[in-house]
Amino acid sequence: MSTTLVETTYREAMREAMREAMQRDERVFLMGEDVGAYGGCFAVSLGLLEEFGPERIRDTPLSESAFVGAGIGAAIAGMRPIVEIMTVNFSLLALDQIINNAATLSHMSGGQVSVPVVIRMTTGAGRQLAAQHSHSLEGWYGHIPGIKLLAPATVEDARGMLWPALQDPDPVLIFEHGTLYPMPGSLAPDAAPVDISRAAVRRPGKDVTLLTYGGSLPKVMAAAEELATTGIEPEVVDLRVLRPLDDETIVGSVRRTHRAVIVDEGWRTGSLAAEITTRLVEQCFFDLDGPVQRVCSAEVPMPYAKHLEEAALPQVATIVAAARQVVSG
């Protein structure tokens, strides 16, 4: 590893990951709405068209079902497509392809068909984009066997998750929280691929485990720092992989701290937070010193007005309050 770190952003790290993948493997190509001439709706693929040309950076019509399905078909036939969907809300237009095809083909064919496609999409709220561009539907996808879900929450993961995802023989969905794109960070110029099977402890602690993923991680880290000033030392676990969940890291942390707060931007009902709560109850109930707490989004379609959107989302203050309640239990 080089010792000279390079200042970058989450967005640039993701772009660099795509560039490297395209350079390393000629089977890799990118397709999606406005990924080429426009440079990507969130400028993630800016400049890649000029570098790799229109055969490998493919602008598509606004036909989510067709181009996601085409990614699945191309993967089956030996390519390694990266399909970009503008937002998780738009991915609903391709649900048939993702769930009825990508997730089923291996099992339904008796193991003959592998679908090594990577589907990237923006997720989450916080940018006043209202109720059709802001939701967090990772939990829905987490219900589906046959697909794998990644949620990079750091610059390192934005840089390092794509290559192993492309090496995976199964469909991998990568959820990129929209508020993270401008997040700064530093990387080694030869930053390596990361392990996409494990959760990560982002901050060691002993009093309570704060479990989260994606766009909520910076809020949870800020909450942890605030709690630390009052003598509570939280451990922060970044789930990173939303399916299959890394039970060992999740349960291992809670066994040490005996308390858990799950911070999930999805709605509470039927959420990833609900699934994790259940796993904790099943696997370490007798290690818990009190009830598991959840900090989730209010159960409303995401509103536009800034004060309402903020009120609907997990915030540092609500995370701190939940952690205090669990610790003082």
**Residues labelled catalytic:** 64, 133
In contact, 258 and 233? CB cutoff 8 Å: no
Q: Distances in Å between the alpha carbon of 55 and those of 50, 75, 79, 274? A: 11, 16, 13, 43
Interface with another protein includes 121 (CB under 8 A)?
no
Nearest to 217 by CA among 162, 157, 283, 279: 157
Contacts of another protein in 18-57 (CB under 8 A)? 29, 55
- According to the binding rule CB under 8 A, does residue 91 interact with another protein? no
| Residue 167 lies near another protein (rule: CB under 8 A) | no
Q: How far is the CB of 119 from another protein (least distance, A)?
A: 13
Determine if 92 is a binding residue for another protein (CB under 8 A).
no
Q: Closer CB to another protein, residue 70 or residue 260?
A: 70
> Which among 17-25, 141-149, 187-195, 256-264 is the span making contact with another protein, rule CB under 8 A?
141-149
User: Applying CB under 8 A, which part among 14-22, 58-66, 245-253, 312-320 lies near another protein?
Assistant: 58-66
For another protein, give the closer residue by CB, 111 or 231: 111
Residue 114 DSSP SS3: coil
Stretch that binds another protein, among 98-106, 194-202, 259-267, 280-288 (CB under 8 A): 98-106
Does residue 116 belong to the site contacting another protein (CB under 8 A)?
yes
Instruction: Give me the least distance between CB of 148 and another protein, in Å please.
Output: 8
Which DSSP string corresponds to 203-258? E--SSEEEEE-GGGHHHHHHHHHHHHTTT--EEEEE--EEES--HHHHHHHHHHHS
Number of residues this chain uses to bind another protein (CB under 8 A):
41
When asked if residue 205 is in the footprint of another protein (CB under 8 A), the reply is no
Pick the binder of another protein from 20, 25, 34, 170 (CB under 8 A): 170
Please report, for residues 2, 116, 174, 313, the alpha-carbon distance to residue 162 in angstroms, rounded to integers and kept in the order given.
21, 12, 8, 28
Decide whether 35 or 129 has the Cβ nearer to another protein: 35
Site for another protein in 263-282 (CB under 8 A): none
Q: What number of other Cβ atoms are within 10 A of residue 328's Cβ?
A: 8
Beta-bridge partners for 308: none
With contacts defined by CB under 8 A, name the span among 132-140, 142-150, 178-186, 228-236 that binds another protein.
142-150
> Which of 3, 111, 190, 285 lies at the binding interface for another protein (CB under 8 A)?
111
- CB within 8 Å of 153: residues ≥ 6 apart: 177, 180, 212, 213, 214, 215, 216, 217, 218, 238, 240
**Three-state DSSP class for residue 177:** strand
Helices (H), the chain: 10-24, 48-52, 64-76, 95, 105-108, 138-142, 155-160, 162-167, 217-228, 247-257, 272-284, 306-312, 316-328
With binding defined as CB under 8 A, does residue 110 bind another protein? Answer: yes
User: Footprint of another protein on this chain (CB under 8 A)?
Assistant: 29, 55, 60-61, 63, 65-79, 81, 96-97, 100-101, 105-114, 116, 145-146, 148, 169-170
